[in-house]
Structure 1
């Protein structure tokens, strides 16, 4: 019998190592795969696109916000992996009637490394988890050396249109922006993903860069043109949303991507 606490402080007790996993978060599905847990993953969401072959080999149990409870119950999971931001409290409470629901809460790099270490303990993959922690720390240090001489640029990171919404404070995206020496002009807003009036962009910070994320909204050149009209000189850049918002093992790829992004901006 082993007892663990998830990132919300909820205590979970397991008689054995959980063998049947349902993952409700795309980036965490990728991490579980990278930790060598492919055989244990029995259910994923329709948004879990990495690794690609999971679409045909794993049971799809709905989305991140709307899950198919009966499909999950029939999979007889030992554990369900959720996330405070991606999944609603209501969904977590419902699923808790099926089996333990492990909830992660990721805002900082430290939170991310804690999640990886926790999974290593939880699923008896300590060595694999430590390898990923070491690799991410090394890549982060390497990136800090790369970024240290780059000028600070003011940015607005858009995640949605109609209405326009941006990444605000207390988000993993905002942490990634900070790593890149990007100063988020909406960091002082109370909401994590505030709805904004684009006509006020100049007075709210007048960004040097407008970043249009590839997910969850499919931005077009028309959006880029419209947004550009309400700044003095901002350059609009389409960016890979997975690199800014996916935690877990994805950070290794993200740091390489950020270097290329800076080269293209320069």
Structure 2
């Protein structure tokens, strides 16, 4: 590739003499996407939370978590790009990592942002054909899902992500975008991005039809559902797969199928 200047989703401009060959990915869903874009051989470092594809656990170097990393280990791996995300990684981390090599930061709130990220990776990593294929598959699946969900009425939901204290998905995040796509009205969408909530006030807050208990970051169990149901008479508590609601990238293709099954179950 000739020298090229590309801009990430935070508006930061990066100039590359050659296409990056040694990648560290500090975002689990983006690690999965890079694999699906055919970039496995270039990935030299991942986080301990990068669980897909499964074999990366034994074939790739773990450099820490998404909020805390081993900078010395990262430096020793001699990356020529580190891929981060505005929400998953901290600004302080990104600034420190920039002392090692360029840091590409994604920012995914909407499905449009997701298409943009995939197209950007196609440009950045010289895998435009794969990126176009994935965006084509996702566009087709999105259109199909919108047809599927068209006849489903809008119902109210609370989406819990944490316990002690109870925290939920609010507005201005990918989870809320996917809830809207599924015709769910988030009762906490005026409370900020990930507000702490009082469970005993759930009826006054919006009296949801469903309470979704996510499998991540807090691994909710059935017992938690019984506990929450003490505070709401009508809401059905449902354990949901957090990866399907919060992972962007290529995971979205599986998510559309999962959402269809979820609606049939509800």
The interval holding the TM-score normalised by the smaller chain is over 0.9
Residue deviations 1:7-52 (CA, integer Å, cap 9, x gap): 0000111110000000000000000000000000000000000000
For 1:225, the equivalent position in structure 2 comes to: 226
The runs of at least 4 consecutive aligned structure 1 residues that moved more than 6 Å come to none
Q: CA shift at 1:232, angstroms?
A: 2.7
Kindly indicate whether residue 25 of structure 2 is the aligned counterpart of residue 26 of structure 1. Answer: no
Q: Distance in 2 between matches of 1:231 and 1:155?
A: 12
Kindly indicate whether residue 160 of structure 2 is the aligned counterpart of residue 158 of structure 1. Answer: yes
CA-atom RMSD in angstroms = 0.5
For 1:42, the equivalent position in structure 2 comes to: 44
For 1:61, the equivalent position in structure 2 comes to: 63
Residue deviations 1:143-190 (CA, integer Å, cap 9, x gap): 00100001111000000000000000001000010011000000011x
For 1:74, the equivalent position in structure 2 comes to: 76
Pairing 1:196-215 to 2, within 5 Å after superposition: 196-215=197-216
Q: Distance in 2 between matches of 1:241 and 1:218?
A: 9
Residue deviations 1:184-207 (CA, integer Å, cap 9, x gap): 000011x21000001110010000
For 1:112, the equivalent position in structure 2 comes to: 114
Residue aligned with 2:238, SS: strand
Stretches of structure 1 lacking an aligned partner (at least 5 in a row): none
Q: CA shift at 1:226, angstroms?
A: 1.4
Residue deviations 1:69-124 (CA, integer Å, cap 9, x gap): 00100000000000000000000000000000000000000000000000000000
Q: Could you state the TM-score of these two structures normalised by the residue count of structure 1?
A: 0.98
Q: CA shift at 1:228, angstroms?
A: 1.0
Larger CA deviation: 224-233 vs 161-170: 224-233
Pairing 1:96-135 to 2, within 5 Å after superposition: 96-135=98-137
Q: Distance in 1 between matches of 2:72 and 2:241?
A: 34
Corresponding residue pairs, total: 264
Kindly indicate whether residue 97 of structure 2 is the aligned counterpart of residue 95 of structure 1. Answer: yes
Q: Distance in 1 between matches of 2:100 and 2:130?
A: 29
Q: CA shift at 1:231, angstroms?
A: 1.5
Residue aligned with 1:50, SS: coil
Q: CA shift at 1:218, angstroms?
A: 1.5
Residue deviations 1:209-230 (CA, integer Å, cap 9, x gap): 0000000111122211111111
